Amino acid sequence: MSEIHEQKILVLDFGSQTTQLIARRVREARVYCEIHPCTMPPDEIKAYGARGIILSGGPASCYEPGAPSVDPAIFELGVPVLGICYGMQILTHLLGGKVARGAKREYGPAKLNIQRQAGPFRECGLDEPQPVWMSHGDRIEKMPQGFETLAVTANSPVAAMGDPERRIYGVQFHPEVAHTHGGAAMLAAFVLGDCGCDPIWTMHNFAEATIADFKERLGGQKVICALSGGVDSSVVALLLHKAIGKDLTSIFVDNGVLRAGEVAEVAGLFRDVFGLNLVVVDAADLFLDRLKGITDPEEKRRIIGHTFIEVFDAEAAKIAGEVQYLAQGTLYPDVIESVSFKGPSAVIKSHHNVGGLPEKMKLKLVEPLRELFKDECREVGRELGLPETIVSRQPFPGPGLAIRIMGEVTRPRLATLREADAIVQEEMRASDLYTKVWQSFAVLVPVKTVGVMGDERTYEDVVALRIVDSVDAMTADWSRVPYEILARLSSRIINEVKGVNRVVLDISSKPPSTIEWE
């Protein structure tokens, strides 16, 4: 634990859809925080040493049997507590107030009239009502002793309450969502004002602290890192490189299903510019041989995943000296998912990653990004001098172009898709849409259609454009890309990519579709 982790906020999760957003907002106020399930044992909560506790919302009703609760000892720790929606209701229930079903469910926007500038509202003006976002059916009938109303809406006589003496507050609305315009400022006022945290959680400080920590813990030991050229593993490799230099070996596998120019770009940047000890493994033939005749999407993923582990394993074995550590780009959302109060979600596609490696290789894991959200990881990348082309990279799946070629993956079909994909990348970057959308790519459809080119009949492939907006890839919608850009994409692909005479646009949302086609 370094200094920047010392002043922290604990977010206890009661199963809300927006718990992660609470943590995001606290981090944006430059304060470190972690999400833990509401079932965290009281002695652990105490030992954790947070400067403040935030109780999230949740789907349950606190007066029902079996509703999730929290040990009331948290109110005796002497640190400020803020309950949001269910969090406010459960604290009311535990402190002797009364919660009951309201006459009307309140869902969506509301106008908040703040009556007292205390707690999260310490910086708020009293004249203008604030737009806030509500999502509840229960309401506070009676506040616990010592509490007073801090704000009201037309529908909620107790839209916010507080006991400023004990610094315990509750808000019925959701300050963490964007629809509550002043919400981020309210959460910042709570963590900086009430909890007294200093705004020291910056990615500059994070990078420095992580590098210093690695120098101390890993100095003189051998570490390996699987580098994909994506932002996560690139940031991991650079952090480690700055800490232990040549004791880090990064391994980049050309699996034959990478994008155009990727091998040269990754090798050029990390080896020549950053001076990393980088092994580039040309395993394209091996991967493509094994993919021969395979058309089933899950089978493709399985083969690529297994082959990847095999290749990686073999390369790691060649490194002189005993390797003790494997570095991975695990991000905080992955960590939260595995400890969340909600159960794990159903598997729709088996995502390839190197998760199978450590057990097999008996290596200890180094996961420097375990505490970071994606945009924080990008910020660290910028701090470390990673160029914007890598920092702002759209996600690219491990199985690469193989899951964007419907049907068999062959070299000629790969060449076709690569060319079309390069045009999509180029045009999207040129139009500045590249960083606005979540992903934009081409898919090769296993269908031939008739066309006419220079008076001649053609009978060629179809390319589909997949361009989506999303915040976390869990849901997505097709991007409303301006017609001129679509026109340019279509015309360039048909004219420049041999063997393609038709371009179509995928206008499906997720769900029920998925972002990738396989």
Ligand X SMILES: Nc1ncnc2c1ncn2[C@@H]1O[C@H](COP(=O)(O)OP(=O)(O)OP(=O)(O)O)[C@@H](O)[C@H]1O
Ligand Y SMILES: O=c1[nH]c(=O)c2[nH+]cn([C@@H]3O[C@H](COP(=O)(O)O)[C@@H](O)[C@H]3O)c2[nH]1
Ligand Z SMILES: NC(=O)CC[C@H](N)C(=O)O
> How many residues touch ligand Y (CB under 6 A)?
15
403 neighbors 360 (Cβ within 8 angstroms): no
Among Mg ion, ligand Z, ligand Y, none, residue 413 binds (CB under 5-8 Å by kind): none
Q: What character string, x for contact with ligand Y (CB under 6 A) and - otherwise, covers 1-40? A: ----------------------------------------
> Which position among 176, 376, 383, 427 bears the catalytic label?
176
Burial (0-12, 13-18, 19+ Cβ within 10 Å), 333? middle
Q: Is 195 a catalytic residue?
A: no
33 neighbors 4 (Cβ within 8 angstroms): no
Q: Is 174 a catalytic residue?
A: yes
Q: Is 230 annotated as a binding residue?
A: yes
Q: Return the number of the residue (119 or 398) whose C-beta is nearest ligand Y.
A: 398
Among Mg ion, ligand Z, ligand X, none, residue 137 binds (CB under 5-8 Å by kind): ligand Z
Give least dist CB 184 to ligand Z, A.
18
Sole binder of ligand X in the list 227, 269, 384, 414 (CB under 6 A): 227
Q: Is 231 annotated as a binding residue?
A: yes
Give least dist CB 228 to ligand X, A.
3
CA torsion 452→454→458→462, rounded to 10°?
-70
End-to-end CA distance of the chain: 41
Q: Is 136 a catalytic residue?
A: no
Give least dist CB 102 to ligand Z, A.
8
Q: Which stretch, 58-66, 234-242, 322-330, 392-400, contacts ligand Z (CB under 6 A)?
A: 58-66
The H or E element spanning position 419 is helix 411-430
Q: What is the CA radius of gyration of the chain?
A: 26
Residues 472-501 touching ligand Y, rule: CB under 6 A, are: 473
Give, in order, the Cα–Cα distances in Å from 99 to each of 80, 82, 138, 140, 141. Answer: 22, 17, 7, 5, 5
**Phi, psi for 489 (deg, rounded to 5):** -60, -50
Sole binder of ligand X in the list 135, 255, 479, 501 (CB under 6 A): 255
Sole binder of ligand X in the list 231, 366, 445, 462 (CB under 6 A): 231
Q: Which stretch, 117-125, 174-182, 246-254, 491-499, contacts ligand X (CB under 6 A)?
A: 246-254
SS3 442: strand
Q: Does residue number 86 form part of the binding site for ligand Z (CB under 6 A)?
A: yes
SS3 5: helix
The H or E element spanning position 74 is none
124 neighbors 117 (Cβ within 8 angstroms): yes
CA distance 162 to 143: 9
Burial (0-12, 13-18, 19+ Cβ within 10 Å), 243? buried
Sole binder of ligand X in the list 79, 253, 278, 476 (CB under 6 A): 253
The H or E element spanning position 91 is helix 86-94
How many Cα atoms occupy the beta-carbon half-sphere of 498 within 13 Å?
Answer: 4
Q: Does residue number 228 form part of the binding site for Mg ion (CB under 5 A)?
A: yes
Q: Is 431 annotated as a binding residue?
A: no
Q: Does residue number 20 form part of the binding site for ligand Z (CB under 6 A)?
A: no
Task: Give catalytic residue positions.
Answer: 85, 174, 176
Task: Report the binding-site residues for ATP.
Answer: 228-234
Q: Annotated binding site: which residue ranges?
A: 228-234
List of residues contacting ligand Y (CB under 6 A): 301, 349, 351-353, 395, 397-399, 439, 473, 510, 514-516
Q: Which residues lie near ligand Z (CB under 6 A)?
A: 16, 57-61, 85-86, 135-138
